[in-house]
Chain A
């Protein structure tokens, strides 16, 4: 009996600890909300050397290119030293940024996705860059600002204030196996009808080699809003208070995908993890994937298949989401550190550097004028596959900054996959998606 009592006591205590932890978290958030930083006071110039930390999640070749560019920046002037700090994956970076914000030890600058930024803006963690952009000593001219690709500018704006400078941006493109298309006498699909027909025609079983027409990444759920846009709809209401997965357009989009999967002309990556593997060994003929993965596709396909890249086929409309992070700076930094960070951001977003970055990584340049630089033009002429993503700027859209985005994403991942794995039908999947995502939004708006 005594032991039993002790066990109860222990469990009550454990529950209590967990509950207390949550409560105090809310308090903290409320506190940091109250604390308002004064508006930016921008020094005219830097008198003393400044060292700033930039937390990033770039690995492998991406990290090397970033290092090289940062070295160049550090050498280009004698006041500012940028120290790169790698924080693992985006997930790890996000965790660490959260923890350090609570401990009031935020870095001077970091990479951040727009949905993180929505939270940071709300908690007054990151700095409004507008005063820096407009500053007459250090800012951008009107032309320079307008030169930043429009969809990136919009994505970085909250209440008419710009909080981030676009950095590593990619979008979805259509990879295709040139030989398979030629075999069937097909052109690269440019709209949904051709797309569906191509997927069907390319699904073959010849000489024991099974080929499926279209390959989709496992993260298809997160791309689902793109298909809804292509169908002519949206997934988030204008007032940013509700999600709209219950529209005819959403149904069209999901039916389109669902039909191809049930007919066996499309498949998910499944156990393969990423679709670049099956595409590279010729198990699928078409494949929708991130433009940032071109390097991986190239490595998989080498010596096995011939391939090329095309813009996403359009439905009623052309639409493609741009993913990737932006550069932000934190309110906890001193005015000198912030100015240093701004100078570094300007450097990374300059036409020469953004082209250099794009050429070495597969991301897109973040400036319109960069596309006209001879360096970029020559490069795209030689490597046409790298030019496709940037050709889709006009079709680019960004998801409005709705609160509760992570909840929506969770629901999207789960429900869309459930439908495409034939665990639910289209109507049930959309109904569940609508209710789960909406409750996430309602919860975040409370």
Chain B
């Protein structure tokens, strides 16, 4: 390696490291705040390491709301809606990438068009629909509207299009049905994309706040992010407890991400989705 190469390499690494530190700061702040006494939270200049570690912030935070029940709901909704979305996404993406039918491009364009409607606009109509169905304050309301995602269909369709057509010809010649070809060949090949989709879905579902709040009323139906509102009032926020609860809530997602991160990067990169 020449000096010039070494120099440019180390510049890149320094920049990347700086970026990584910048990304990590909020997490570090969250964890450090979760261990502070209340009068240390807002000290200027910021204190990165609490003078006394307040471990009981965690036990106090748990007592503020029925987080056990919330956690069960969050996990249940996450698992069911993720599996459901994977099924609908695989079927739809296959249809849009491999089956020729009349009006395919128009239907696809219409679906993409719905992505441009901001979620807030749909809040009230969706609520009215669900309440006419009698689903308010039931798991159906938390799960059914999220069983399909246009973005995921789009992502997977692009991925499917990248798989050589010859594979399906070969399978057809051997007498393989569309359905069998999809499950035995396409799905295993698309594993990185599917994991990406599942992970994005899981993170989205885990963090969702407004929708679960709007469609549920009883404490039994609420999810973890809704529980976090217990720490904020109009005149201020109990940051140390909020951060303790947030740390606990965010931990499973971080672990999931670390385990699966090589797939998510691969999945996004291969499907050619930028940004």
Contacts and interface: CB of A to CB of B under 8 A. Distances in A.
B230 A63 contact: yes
B232 interface: yes
Contact of A60 (B42, B44, B122, B238): B238
A11 B113 contact: yes
B127 A293 contact: no
A99 interface: yes
Contact of A10 (B116, B123, B233): B116
B124 A99 contact: yes
Interface in B210-269: 210, 213-214, 217-219, 226, 229-238
Q: Among B214, B218, B219, B226, find the residue whose CB has the most chain A CB atoms closer than 10 A.
A: B214
20 contacts: A9-B109, A17-B117, A53-B217, A60-B230, A60-B231, A60-B233, A63-B230, A88-B229, A92-B229, A96-B213, A99-B123, A103-B127, A103-B132, A105-B131, A105-B136, A276-B235, A277-B42, A281-B43, A293-B235, A302-B39
Nearest to A274: B236
Given A281-B44, A292-B233, 20 more contacts: A6-B105, A6-B109, A13-B113, A14-B114, A14-B117, A17-B117, A25-B124, A58-B233, A60-B230, A85-B218, A88-B213, A89-B234, A95-B123, A98-B124, A102-B128, A104-B131, A170-B235, A277-B41, A283-B44, A300-B39
A59 interface: yes
Contacts of A9: 106, 109-110, 113
B121 interface: yes
B165 to A, nearest CB: 20
Given A59-B229, A99-B128, A292 B234 contact: yes
A280 interface: yes
Contacts of B117: 14, 17-18
A90 B218 CA distance: 18
Interface of A: 2, 6-7, 9-11, 13-14, 17-18, 21, 25, 53, 58-60, 62-63, 85-90, 92, 95-96, 98-100, 102-105, 170, 272-274, 276-278, 280-281, 283, 289-290, 292-293, 295-296, 299-304
Contacts of A104: 131
Interface in B34-85: 38-39, 41-44, 64
Contact of B42 (A100, A280, A292): A280
Please report whether the interface of chain B is mostly helix, strand, loop or mixed according to DSSP.
Answer: helix
Contacts of A10: 109-110, 112-113, 116
A278 B124 CA distance: 40
Nearest to B229: A88
B175 interface: no
Given A59-B232, A303-B39, A99 B114 contact: no
Contacts of A25: 124
Interface centre among B105, B113, B236, B238 (most CB of A within 10 A): B236
B125 interface: yes
Contacts of A304: 39
Nearest to A272: B42
A292 B113 contact: no
A13 B128 CA distance: 22
A60 B64 contact: yes
In the A-B complex, the 3 residue pairs with the closest CB atoms: A293-B235, A277-B42, A10-B113
Given A13-B113, A88-B229, A100 B236 contact: no
Contacts of B112: 10
Contact of A89 (B43, B105, B232): B232
A92 B215 CA distance: 11
B42 A6 contact: no
Nearest to A301: B39
A170 B113 CA distance: 47
Contacts of B105: 2, 6
A87 B232 contact: no
